[in-house]
Structure 1
């Protein structure tokens, strides 16, 4: 089975134009959805989560825009969908770009990360696309997330599907060369889509490891008192199944964990976006 992100050119195109759809009339936070408990639930059924392919699911730091990738069952076209909050209502916007993408936003909202490309927030909107400098430009990055301190967590599309996760810190205002996370995090295969907490207290990702639930699972590692990263911990059977779970990310307000699950065949014809109360993270932390 191929990685969802590896099978799509998610990171090469940016939103330069869009088409608005006025039929969306969702009110309130989180697209007007009732928040879940400690059992994952599909996010916005029939609106965001459908019988087709729905990937990503990320809010901007201001929580007034929501990005994801959609492919309807009756349409072969992948598209980037953005819900924007106007007043108390959410309005759907579909990107005009020919290739889909969804970004990872820096916690301060100043940078839109798209793999090894990025845009910067300006007074008039987002800047033109820029490339990260070497050595990042030389790495086949699918996902890059950043902490409040500027630490990057990145993955690498590997031809043999090994999947190496790395981090890079800002030291004295200069970016250090990326270093691999420890062997526990990088054990197994298919390690991808890292999400580093804004305060760097944990990192989450997806991969295949011994003792998992049969396919790609979600894992977490907590930062230790000495600054090192702890063991890789499977998020458990309430989140992981024998299907493909991937792309963990926590909402900017810290309340909910979003991820995707393959609900169909190995062809990823029906991928759904799920969310769950982020208290599950603290529950795992308290047991370690």
Structure 2
């Protein structure tokens, strides 16, 4: 009996390991030197940014600029194969120019939060630069019967008349985001809104990290064990030490001048760090000057080594 039980356990372990293999568009995993993520699939001649996956790695999302609109695209893993990249329609047909970017997906895979701009606040001939002068809000889309529905704003405690950007959802459904709403600290701050259930949130509170004012959280792990900040064109990592965030340490990448690094993200198995970068024409400011946008991935050892140093 013990012999048969051992054979059975070996077989179960073998197939469990096979099923745990995560597919990243048949790419060779990166080393500690960043590589373009999915060339010709995600990275094209267009401007692309913010690749993210759902929790079980069966759906991949990213944003692409199409005719001055920021459009979320996705692909689904079906019967072991990734589907063709397709845009997700977030607004009504009469909206010709729009903003939908920086998606983040709930643990059950059924709700997406993202940065959006209210289409009622601009005309359809608005330029890319003008779009980003309008205060963005946090929107959500629900996946019903396998299809992402038109988006709506998150409740008023999160989306206000001020800037709300970089939404990140945690395992319990709570939201981290940036906002310049009035506060004692002033300026832009990182906020956390505890999820109450039934699509409602508690009043957001400021997350204090031991960092410079412009180093704000742009990614947090689902279990809130660590977070990644952006500041002065570089990434930093901070760890949650019994409720207190440690002083952020720089993530050692080869940061190139005239490139802006942003949209940090971690794969669900925490093996890979995924980030975006954009090249700005030095003579133009803002999105009007962006000439190239790329998404990279790199072995996550470069992040977690920062905790040891």
- Please give the TM-score of this superposition, normalised by the length of structure 2: 0.68
Q: Output aligned runs, 1:22-33, within 5 Å.
A: 29-33=23-27
Match in the other structure for 2:86: 93
Provide the C-alpha distance between the structure 2 equivalents of 1:221 and 1:245, rounded to a whole number of angstroms. 17
Note closer, same or farther for the CA distance 1:95–1:85 as it changes in structure 2 (3 Å cut).
same
Write the deviation string for residues 265-286 of structure 1: whole angstroms up to 9, x where unpaired.
3422111101111222221122
Where structure 2 has 5 or more consecutive residues not aligned to the other structure, the ranges are: 1-21, 116-137, 283-288
Q: Structure 2 residue aligned with 1:205, among 220, 229, 234?
A: 229
Structure 1 Cα separation of the partners of residues 164 and 99 of structure 2:
16
Counterpart Cα distance in 2 of 1:153 and 1:60 = 17
1:175 Cα deviation (Å)? 4.1
1:144 has 2:167 as partner: yes
State the alpha-carbon separation in 2 of the partners of residues 50 and 265 from structure 1.
Answer: 19
CA distance in 2, matches of 1:77, 1:112: 19
Which of the numbers 255, 262, 265 marks the counterpart of 2:281?
Answer: 265
Residue 213 (structure 1) aligns with: none
Q: Secondary structure at the match of 1:137?
A: coil
Give the secondary structure class of the aligned counterpart of 2:291: coil
Q: Which moved more, 1:31-40 or 1:113-122?
A: 113-122
Q: 1:183: how far off? A: 5.2
Note closer, same or farther for the CA distance 1:171–1:40 as it changes in structure 2 (3 Å cut): same
Cα distance in structure 1, aligned partners of 2:57 and 2:301: 19
Query: Alignment partner for residue 191 of structure 2, among 133, 150, 166?
Result: 166
- Aligned residue in 2 for 1:178: 204
**Cα offset, 1:171, TM superposition:** 7.5
Q: Which residue of 2 aligns with 1:109?
A: 109
Shift of 1:206: 1.6
Contact in 1 for aligned 2:51/2:61 (Cα 8 Å): yes
3-state SS in 2 of match to 1:30: coil
Structure with a larger share of its residues in helix: 2
Which structure ranks higher in relative contact order (CA pairs < 8 Å, sequence separation ≥ 6)?
A: 1
CA distance, structure 2, for counterparts of residue 95 and residue 133 of structure 1: 22
Using the TM superposition, give the Cα deviation of residue 65 of structure 1 relative to its aligned residue in structure 2, in angstroms. Answer: 2.0
Question: Do the aligned partners of 1:193 and 1:247 also contact (CA within 8 Å) in 2?
Answer: no
Aligned CA-pair RMSD: 3.1
The separation in 1 between residues aligned to 2:245 and 2:88, in whole angstroms, is 38
Equivalenced residue count is: 246
The CA deviation at 1:83 is 2.2
